[in-house]
Every structure is written in C-alpha cells, then in structure tokens.
Homo-oligomer: A and B are copies of this chain.
Amino acid sequence: MAPQPEAAARIDAVLARIDADLPEALERLLALLRIPSISTDPAFAADCTRAAGHLVEDLAALGFRAELRPTPGHPMVVAHAGEEEAGGRHILFYGHYDVQPVDPLNLWNRDPFDPAVEETAKGRVIRGRGASDDKGQLMTFVEACRAWKAVHGRLPGRITIFLEGEEESGSPSLIPFMRENAAELSADIALICDTGLYDDETPAITTMLRGLAKTEFTVHAANRDLHSGMYGGVARNPLTVLARILGNLHDENGRVTVPGFYDGVDELPDALRAQWQALAFDHAKFLGDVGLSIPAGEVDRTPLEMIWSRPTAEVNGLWGGYNGAGFKTVLPAEAHAKVSFRLVWRQEPEKVVSAFRAWLEAQLPGDVTVEWHDEITGSPASVMEIGDPAFEAARAALTQEWGKPAAFIGSGGSIPIAGYFKTILGMDSMLIGFARDDDGIHSPNEKYDLECFHRGIRSWARVLAAIA
C-alpha cells in the first residue's frame, strides 16, 4: 500500500515542510486560541465573529475563495479551492471554531484564553480552551493545506472547507444553512476532524455511528393518588405496572424483547470484526473505570461490539409516587418514564419507537392507559460505505504516519453532523481526529498534545495525497 515513487517524493516534501514550519503553525494556532469564541454566551458573540473572520483571512491567504457567511446565529466559514483540479474527489472538510465556556475558572492553571505550550511529564502540550476541541484539530487540516500549497504551489485537489461557530451550543443554524446551500456544500466525501485517536497511539477512522430515538410517556391508572390503606391491593398501581413492563424490556440473554426491534440490524462484516478484535479492547478497564466488572447486555456479544454495532433500549428516567423524605403510603395515579434507543445499521427511528409503543400498550392491564408525550423523533445510525476505496486509502495513510495499523472504529454515541451530511448532502463522512482521552475537552485545563497537532497535520497531508 506504499505510495508510488513519484507520489512518495511529492508527499515527503510536504511532510518536511510541515516539520520545518511547526513553530509557525503553533503560533498561528495560539493566535486563534486567544479569541474567546464561546458560542453559548451572547457576551462573546463578537468574538465568535472575530474568530470566523480570522479564519476567513487565513484561508484566503492560502488561495481559498473564503467567505464569512451570516446566519441568525454565529457566522459560517465557507471556503473553496481547487475547482480547476479535474478527476479527483471533491472533499468537504468540517470543523468548528466555537468553544465551550471556561468555568470553573479557578480550576485552570492559566488564563484559558492566554494559551501556551507547556512542558508536562507526558510531553509538550498546547494548553488553552479549544486547543483540542476543535480549534487545534481544525487547524491540523488548514496547516496541511498550507504546507501542500507552499511546496507545490497549489492544493492537492478540490477542497471545500466548512467551519461552524455553533457546535457547542446545539448548532441551531446548521441544518437550515446546509439546506439553503446544499448544492454548494455537496462534495464526494466529507472529512470531519472532531474525534479522537482509538487510543493514545492508534489512529482511527470512525465509520459507524449509532443513531438515537427516544420516547417519553406517562402511565395512568386511578384518577387521583390513592391511600394504600384504603385502596392498597385492590387498585392498580401504575408504578408496578410500569416496572413489570420495563423490567421485561430485555430477556434473560440481554436481548431487547420488542418485536421487530432488530429489523435492519446487520451482522458485523468479517473484515471489520477482525479489525475490532485486533484492537484488543480492554473491557475490564472500560468497566472498571466506572466501578463495574461484569458486562451486561447481550450475552453473546463482546463489549466493543455492543457499544459500536449493537442497538440498545435503555430507561433513562423512571419516576412516580412519593420521593421526598419519610414515607407517604400512596398509590400514585400515574408513573412516568423516558426511554431511548441507540440505533445501528438500517434501523429506522420511527419504526423502533412505534414498535416499542405497540409492545407497551399491548401489555397494559385494564383501567391503565398510556399517554405519549412527544412526537416520534430520532436519527438513524450513520454507517459509512467503507467499500469506497477512499477509506482504505486513508487508513493506509494514517497507518504510515503513526506506525500502527489504523482502525475503522465505531462510536456508541451520535455525531449529528455526519448524519446531516448523509441525509442533507448525500455524502459519507470520514471522521478522523487526533484528540487523546486525557485532553480534557469541555473541562478546565484543556490541552492538545503537540505531538497530536504535529502528526495530525502530517496525517492530513498524507490522507489528502491519498484520496483527493
């Protein structure tokens, strides 16, 4: 899978340039980190716009046609380059320039917006809010483009850069903006740099993201709370009814008992299974970190498989009756629950929630009714077409940079942007990021390892060479 000699020479020159330019790249990142672009706090709205403007200027200097595009919230940055490149893939790169709030400020070892490189026992780190999430990460891509341009006088292909300023505050403008500019933003594949390495040394491409569906409801029995001295034993207790039903949401083998729940759930392809097994996921540590020792869930599945490629049905909230101090011998009139489902493969959110509702309703005894509080909402899983040769090419490029086999991994959680790229813009995403678990994103003393920044830039240079 090594590049051809000519291509190798092309990329080697870019990598050398990246190495030589690292001090300046670092200075450029620090300049961006100094802008307190906290998107959720209106007091920092001007700073968000300033950060976007800063990036527009920087991208324009690289030869992008870069624009600051207004939204009802913070502006988007959209930049295009390389339209003259024929034949290659059109790449959309996504990152976000906004950051999380910094409180509690007293837990920081420095001003979060006065970033610096610090020496630590584990090496040099870039300390400051946004160093990892996501300014440091998005700058790895920008710096790769810069080095390529410096060496070869042009970018390695047709690239659109799309940077958001509301990712940390719910992305209210994102979907409307993508819908209104779908033609402009559609590309052959999206690259997203907002995730992490598989472990401290192993690069990864996230190719499976679980979806999410949820439902909230109330089970009603009597028309008012009853005294258990008067009605206990004779009147239906909705707490017991709900407990019985939700207690049977999984069978003895950990499988969800709702009929049709597993429709559209595929088995993991052998190649992917082999890769995941090679990761030697430490499930004892994974559970031990949170005080557990025994995997729950489906008895015939590995923990990694369960988290990345199996669906779940979980009770996120359940309540009813008296929960204050002391005792109240009440038979409550109603009981409440919130239930959510992590979805995989081709599971459809609407079908899953509808099946759950029908399953629950079929089990209600007489006199008991259920009230569903929400419209059925949810997002399906994102499963990338890893048959596209770009995925194997990017994997080889990452493997070469990090000296360890890069993995196609999954994510138990949802990363909405990947789903939107698929449903609104019709393209798959390749999620490649260089964050480490101890980066402390969203926390005090956020950092990005200098090694991650450096190798991240080099990784993108290689990936671009491989797929653009």
Contact = CB atoms under 8 A, between A and B. Distances in A.
Nearest to A411: B229
B336 A323 contact: yes
Given A315-B240, A323-B336, A342 B233 contact: yes
A415 to B, nearest CB: 9
Contact of A367 (B292, B328, B411): B292
Interface residues of A, number: 77
A216 B327 contact: yes
A323 B296 contact: no
Interface stretch (A39-47, A303-311, A439-447): A303-311
A319 B316 contact: no
A400 interface: no
A142 interface: no
B240 A292 contact: no
A240 B247 contact: yes
B243 A229 contact: no
Interface string A332-367: 100110101010000000000000000000000111
Interface stretch (A51-59, A220-228, A260-268): A220-228
Given A240-B247, A315-B240, A365-B294, A234 B306 contact: yes
A233 B310 contact: yes
A231 B307 contact: yes
A321 interface: yes
Given A233-B297, A247-B240, A323 B328 contact: no
Contact of A329 (B214, B231, B307, B320): B214
A239 B412 contact: no
Interface centre among A210, A292, A294 (most CB of B within 10 A): A292
A158 interface: no
A317 interface: yes
A285 to B, nearest CB: 13
A149 to B, nearest CB: 38
Contact of A242 (B243, B250, B303): B243
B318 A331 contact: no
Interface in A266-315: 283, 286-287, 290-298, 303, 306-307, 310-312, 314-315
Nearest to A216: B327
Interface centre among A228, A230, A303, A306 (most CB of B within 10 A): A228
A413 interface: yes
B340 A228 contact: yes
A447 B319 CA distance: 38
16 contacts: A214-B329, A222-B290, A222-B292, A223-B291, A229-B413, A234-B306, A235-B292, A237-B315, A240-B250, A244-B248, A296-B365, A296-B367, A315-B321, A316-B328, A317-B321, A323-B336
Interface of A: 210, 212, 214, 216, 221-224, 226-237, 239-240, 242-250, 283, 286-287, 290-298, 303, 306-307, 310-312, 314-323, 327-332, 335-336, 338, 340, 342, 365-367, 411-414
